[in-house]
Amino acid sequence: MKTEHREYRSILAVNIGLGANILLAALKTAVGIVGHSPALLADGINSTSDVAYYIVVRVFIGLAHKPADDEHPYGHRQLESIAAIVVGAFVLTTAVAIFWDAVNKVYDLWVGQGDFNGASLGALTVALFTVGVKIVLTFTTRQLARQTNSPAVFALAYDHRNDIFAASAASAGIFLGRTGYP
């Protein structure tokens, strides 16, 4: 595959994911707050962190396609691998933060210090919408990753897959909360 075509497809994968995550971050955060859903709010924060590292990956992919120079006689292509590591670090950090917040909320409910109000139907709808969007993004990004053989784009595809699990868990939690289970 030509270098220009590969770069275009890599940037396309990043831009599609970035646009979708901006939309999802705003939607999930707003509906999570208004709809009284801590699960959707946490998923919205996850999407906000996705936006941050998508910007980082976009910069790294752009730099990776710079031609070789005196200081880098083999080019800058390894910056894509560094971008993949950045994605992994962000995903791990976000996962730990969301997990710890969930443990704290469950503990508060367990000892009777937390209050529980079922989330709105809108929160459930947005969570299910997120699952659908992330399924489409997973397959689209994975296909672009195979075409470009870019480690950064592969990492983004795996992140979309992980977001399917997170959004599914949020959907299940919201559904159970709506039926009366804290």
pLDDT at res. 146:
94
pLDDT at 46: 86
- Record the pTM: 0.79
CATH fold of 3-178: Alpha-lytic protease prodomain-like (1.20.1510)
Judged on CB neighbours under 10 Å (0-12, 13-18, 19+), 99 is: exposed
Tens of pLDDT along the chain (182 residues) come to 566 777 888 889 999 999 999 999 999 999 999 988 888 888 898 899 889 888 988 888 777 777 667 776 665 667 777 777 877 787 788 778 777 877 877 787 777 776 556 788 999 999 999 999 999 999 999 999 999 988 888 989 999 998 999 899 889 988 988 887 76
Would you tell me how many other CB atoms lie within 10 Å of the CB of residue 121? 11
3-state secondary structure at position 98 = helix
**CA-to-CA distance for 101 and 49, rounded, in angstroms?**
15
Question: Which residues are within 8 A (CB) of 147 and not within 5 positions of it... i.e. 6 or more apart?
Answer: 1, 6, 9
pLDDT of residue 117: 63
